[in-house]
Structure formats: structure tokens, C-alpha cells
Amino acid sequence: MMLRTVLRRSALGAVLLVLTAVSLAIVLAGRDRGVWAGDWRATSLQAQFPVVVLAPLLSAASAQVGGLTHRHGFWRIENTMPRPPARVALLHWVAVLAVGLTAYAVGVIVAVGITAAADSDPTTSTGGPWPSYLGLGALALAAYSAAGYAAGRLLASRWVPLAVGGAVFVWLLALSLAPDPLGRLAIVQADVFSPVDQSLTVLYVLGAAALCAVVVAVALGITRLRRNDRLALRALGLWPTCFVAAAAIVLLALPSAVEPRDPVEPRCAGATVRVCVWPEHAKWLPLLADTAARVEAALPGHRVLPPETSERGLRAEGVSFVLAGGEVTGPSAVTALVGHLLPHPPACVLADRDRIERYVLVLAWLQLAGAGSVGSDVQVDPARLQHLQALPVPEQRRWVAANVDAVAECATGLPVEQAS
Amino acid sequence: MIGLTRFLTSRRSRRTLTVVLAAAVATSLAGGELVTLPNLTGGIGAAVPVAHLIPAAVGCVIAMSTHSPGADLERLAARDTRPYKAVHVVGLLALSVALLTGAAAVGGAPQLGPSVAWNTFGYAGLALATTPLLGAFGSYLLPLAFTATVPILGLDTAGTPRWWAWPLATANQATAWVWTSALVLVGVAAYVLLPGRTGVGDDPLAG
């Protein structure tokens, strides 16, 4: 009842509209829907993604609501009303958090609905939403909102909400560029392009939950204090900082935030080359199988691909490949499938001009053979490619077959150049 | 004239001017520095000059300066306060644009002048348009939402700014000017003509 009163009297409804619009815009327009629709894991990551914008906005709004105690003698009302002041503070925080979680939930529901529609066949279904990713987003919102609320309660300045929102935005921006251990402190793990064979560790999820719980407890503990500078300074002092720092250190000290997933029954296709992928990538399987057959047929008599190739993490042995994040196209499928022969060029290949030029030329030729076009990420010299293509086809094949196994192996000498 | 002076005093214009001056100093010192905003869609991130980010804060400051401790009394005033409101925000906007573009030139990046100007107009327009709904001190909401969303949605996969992403625009200047001019007109009109929403005092978010 009181919560409803708080929501009705304030303009939090307008805030809810803005946050919901942001959440929906990021879910629907943030990334190509073809990448995540139908894939429950990617959908869960995509649904968590709006938190990177909702967190700054919600923390700013929470700071503004928390600052109510400094306006119009409201602290006197709080301290003379029949209810404990802490309960009033808790209620205000719950109201603003409810607004943020509702906006987040709307984005989650829309993303889940899209994938449920694309994954409606129970025989090929890849499961359901991943609670670890979705729960992490909700925890992060609670922690950032509580921190903002506490800042608003402690500091009387009207500029606090803007400063808090800006600071959280910069914090998330900086951590998104930070290396692994530091990046964990953002409590946002929403990279839809993260490898499919990895999942969050239970320890990381528990650690993140503990950090959020400590932040919320400390922030709400601060709000229990009366409006008094001396007490506020004490609240900002050693003990709360120690609690939060300890929880953060535990999170940073974990060996890893992710771990390899247990293998599942893969989806496979292809006759000449059997290609197996994680169920989440089943939509790319026809393209991969078709591309593998073309690549294999391009060099008759020379085995480029093994009889069976699986996506990384599915088989303990044998040749595996990794699909780069994003939409799988013909050229990117070729790059992934021949990755065991032409991996990302190591430093010794990059340092050898002749070797790197041949590397790029071989990859471009295979992409043309397997996909009919060269990917935009392959910076091949057009003159050299034309020169190679001008040769009779058997000559082209001979040159590619002679180079494909050698260009990425720095210890292997390059065959004598004839084609270029 | 006395009325206008008192109006500006009630808006703590000196403090606002101090903040705008500080923003101008920051623009002159670091305006040309590039900050790479991560493109969270997996594509190429945009390298944005600091001078393009400072107007977001200045826009919010301009809108927050419209706060009046006596807003309820002003509604009952015999004299129409709308001309004062218009002079206040238009003057502040003009002064801010002049100071920030001048600071960019002083800092050795005169080519950033137009983009600094349209960013100031755009963010101030967004913030002013929010004031009737969320009050002066809730006016940061739309500019903050836009600033945080643009790096995510504002670039296509090739790293080119989309047509609506005026904070990232460098070459598509005409579109950016059209967007931000429209925004500042709507924002000023909304602030001057619409009555502000009140909750507790003039802090509607506080309920």
C-alpha cells in the first residue's frame, strides 16, 4: 500500500517509461537479431545487455530519491513519523529499484519471446533462458541502485544524481575496456559474442551475488543513520569500505569467471565433411556443412578438412573450430573451418612479409572457393589474387595445396614460389 | 531590468556561470583528446574528442539552472515570467556555446567548434525538454540516457555513425545541425511555455 502511494505520488512513472524505452531499444536494435534469436544462451546475454545503460540511469534516479531527506525539512518528518525512518528509506529505495527491475524485465520478456518463437520446435529446442546471466543483471541493478541511493542520502547537493549517474557510466565504460579480473567488478557479463563453449562459474555468480549483497547492505545501513555530518563521515569510513573491498577482492581472486561447458549432444550435418556444432549454433549448420563441402572439393587430392570437424568443446579429441562472434557468413565460415591450418597469424608469420602475403592469398583463395567472395577482414593484394586466378585451375590448386600446410608453420620452409 | 536581475539571481546564475567556465577551461585543456568509446555491438568503437562529451554535462547544468526555490510563488506572480525564462536559458545557451567553441579554438582544435556547438544545443535541448516532466533536477535523465546509449546503438557495423547519432557525427554536419536545432527549439519552448510538474516542492522524483 505504502509502495503504491510512493509510486503514485512521484514521477517515477515517467522514469519507468524512459528506462523501458532504453531497455527495449538496446534489446531490439543493439545487435543484429539474427545473431541471438533462437539461441537461448545468446538471448540471455542480449537480455542482460541493457543493464550497462540502465545502471547509470537507475543509480542517478536512486540518488535523487535518496536526496529527498535533505529537502523541505523532510528529515524532520521522517524522524517524527510513527514508522521507523529506516523503513521509509527502504520503501523509497524499493520503489525506485522496482522501476529499474520492471524496465529490465520488459527487455528480458521481449528477448525471451523472440527466441521462444524461433525455438518453438521441441525436438530441436536448445533449452531455455540462462538464469545465471539474467540473475546477474538484476543483482547489478540492485547494487548500483543501492549505491546511488546511499550517495543521495549522505550528500545534500542537488548535483549528486548527475554526478552519480556520470560516475557509474564512466565506471562501466572503463571496466568494459579493462582486462579480465578487473572487468568482473562491473557485475555485467553481457558479451553476446563470448565463446559458446564457456559458461559462468558457480563461484563467480555466488561471488557477484555476495558483492551485490554487501553493497546493498552497506548502502542501506548508511541510510539508517540520521542526518548528521559526523555520523555520515563515520558511515563513509573504514568498516563499510572494508566490507565492500573484501567482497571485491574475493571476486577478483577467483581463478576465472568462466569455465568450459560440459559437452552436449551436438548437431551434425554433411557427407564429405561431417560438421558438428553446439545446439545453440544449429542455425549456422547448413551453411557450415555446405561451405565445408565446397572447400574440400576445391582441392581434389589434398585433404584440407578432416572427415569430421567439431566446434570447440564438443569433442575431447580431433580437429575443432571456433566460430567468431556475430553473424556467420560464407567467408567467416571458411576462416573458421580452416582455422586448424590457418590460425590467427602468429608473430613469426606477421614478421615474415612473404609468408604473411601467401597466408592471406591462400585464405582469400579458399574463401572464394568455399563462399564465392572474400571477407572484408581479409586484406589481400588484389593484384596478387588476380595473378593467381589468371593461372589455369590445376596450377592454382597446386600452388594453394603446396602452401596451405606451410604458411602458418614458421618452422616449415615455404615452397619455391612459382605462381606470383 | 531589475526584475530580470532578480530572476537571474534567484537561479543562482553566478554558480552556473562558474561551472560553464570550468567546462570551457576543461575543453581548452583536453578538448582535442580522443576517447575511444567501446562499440558494444562488437564492431569498431568511435574515437570521440573530449570536447564532444563536455557539452553533455553543460546541457544538464543549463537545465538544472532553471531550478527556482520559489517556483510555487512565481506561478502566482502578477507579472508573466515567461520572457524572463526565455532570456535566461537563451542567454545561457549562447554564452555556453561561445565559451566552449572559443575554448576549443584556444585549445588548438578550432575544427571542433561546430560539433561542440551542435552538441551543446542538442544536449541542452534534451535536458530542457525533460524539465516540465521531471523538474530541473531530474532533467539529467534524457541526456544521460542518450549519452549512454549512443555508443551502443549509434554506430553501424562498419563504425559509421547512424543518421540520428549527432554526438558522433563528424562529416554529416547538416543532419546534426537539423537534429540539434530542432531539439533546442523544442526544449526551450517546453521549458518556457509548459508549467513545471511539482511533487514535493519542485522535486517530483522524490514523491
Question: Closest Cα of chain B to A29: distance in Å?
Answer: 7
How many C-beta atoms surround the C-beta of residue B124 within 10 A? 31
Q: Report the SS3 class of residue B80.
A: coil
- Strand A267-269 vs strand A274-277: parallel, antiparallel, or unpaired? antiparallel
Q: What is the least distance, in Å, from the CA of B117 to any CA of chain A? A: 21
Mean pLDDT of B149-168: 82
The count of residues in chain A is 420
- Please give the model's pTM, rounded to 2 decimal places: 0.83
What is the rounded average pLDDT of the residues B17-37? 87
| Residues of chain A contacting B200 with CB distance shorter than 8 Å | 68, 71-72, 74
**CB neighbour class for A24 (10 Å; exposed up to 12, middle 13-18, buried from 19):** middle
Q: How far is residue A192's CA from residue A35's CA, in Å, rounded to a whole number?
A: 9
pLDDT tens profile B52-106: 889 999 999 999 888 877 777 777 777 788 888 899 999 999 999 999 999 988 8
**Contact call for residues A359 and A342 (beta carbons, < 8 A):** yes
Non-local (6+) Cβ contacts of B98 within 8 A are none
Exposure string (b/e) for B95-113, b if CB count within 10 Å is 16 or more? bbbebbbbbbbebebeebb
Helix (H, G, I), strand (E, B) or coil at A211: helix
Provide mean pLDDT across the span A29-41: 76
- Interface contact A173-B38, CB threshold 8 A: yes
Residue A389 confidence (pLDDT): 83
Cβ neighbours of B64 in A, within 8 Å = 158-159, 162
Closest partner CB to B138 (pick from A11, A25, A169): A11
From A31, A60, A162, residue closest to B41, measured CB to CB: A31
Q: Amino acid identity, residue A346?
A: P
A326 has a chain B CB within 8 A of its CB? yes
Chain B interface, best mutation among A162, A194, A328, A377, by max B CB count within 10 A = A162
What are the start-end ranges of the E strands in A108-240?
198-200
CB within 8 Å: B207 and A95: yes
The verdict on a CB contact (< 8 Å) between A169 and B144 is yes
Rounded CA-CA distance A43/A280 in Å is 10
Is the Cβ pair B207, A10 closer than 8 Å? yes
Q: Between A210 and B73, whose confidence is greater?
A: A210
CA distance A336 to A363: 11
The string of pLDDT tens digits covering residues B39-59 is: 655 556 677 888 888 999 999
Check: CB of residue A358 under 8 Å from CB of residue A381.
no
Under a CB-based contact definition with an 8 Å cutoff, are residues A126 and A119 in contact?
A: yes
| Residue A338 vs residue B122, higher pLDDT | B122
Rounded CA separation B23/B9 (Å): 21
**Can you tell me whether residue B35 is helix, strand or coil?**
strand
Contact A389, A396 (CB under 8 A): yes
User: Which residues, in sequence order, are CB contacts of A6 under 8 Å at separation 6+?
Assistant: A12, A91, A92, A95, B207
Cβ neighbours of residue A112 under 8 Å, at least 6 residues apart?
A43, A47, A129
In this predicted structure, the answer to whether residue A349 has a pLDDT above a threshold of 80 is no
Query: Is the model's pLDDT at B197 over the cut of 90?
Result: no
Residues of chain B with a CB closer than 8 angstroms to some CB in chain A: 36-38, 40-42, 57, 60, 64, 67, 133-135, 137-138, 140-142, 144-145, 147-149, 151-153, 157, 197, 199-201, 203-207
Backbone φ, ψ for residue A208 (5° rounding)? -65, -40
Pick from B41, B140, B149: CB nearest A161: B140
State the Cα torsion B68-B71-B77-B81 to the nearest 10°: 50
Reported confidence tier of residue A126, pLDDT bands at 50, 70, 90: confident
* pLDDT tier, A8 (very low <50, low <70, confident <90, very high otherwise): low
Does the beta carbon of A66 lie under 8 angstroms from any beta carbon of chain B?
A: no
What CA–CA distance (Å, rounded) separates A232 from A244?
17
**Under an 8 A CB cutoff, do B64 and A161 touch?**
no
* Euclidean distance between CA atoms A133 and A48, whole angstroms: 7
Q: Is the pLDDT of residue B111 over 80?
A: yes
Contacts of A67 (CB under 8 A, 6+ apart): A152, A153, A155, A156, A158, A160, A161, B203, B206
- C-alpha dihedral over B144, B151, B160, A37, to 10 degrees? -120
Q: What is the mean pLDDT of chain A?
A: 82
Q: What percentage of chain B carries pLDDT values higher than 70?
A: 88
Contacts of A21 (CB under 8 A, 6+ apart): none
List pLDDT tens digits, range A356-395: 888 888 888 888 888 888 887 778 888 888 888 888 888 8
Amino acid at the residue A99? V
- Please indicate if any CB of chain B lies within 8 Å of the CB of A67: yes
Give the one of B138, B151, B203 whose C-beta lies nearest to A71's C-beta.
B203
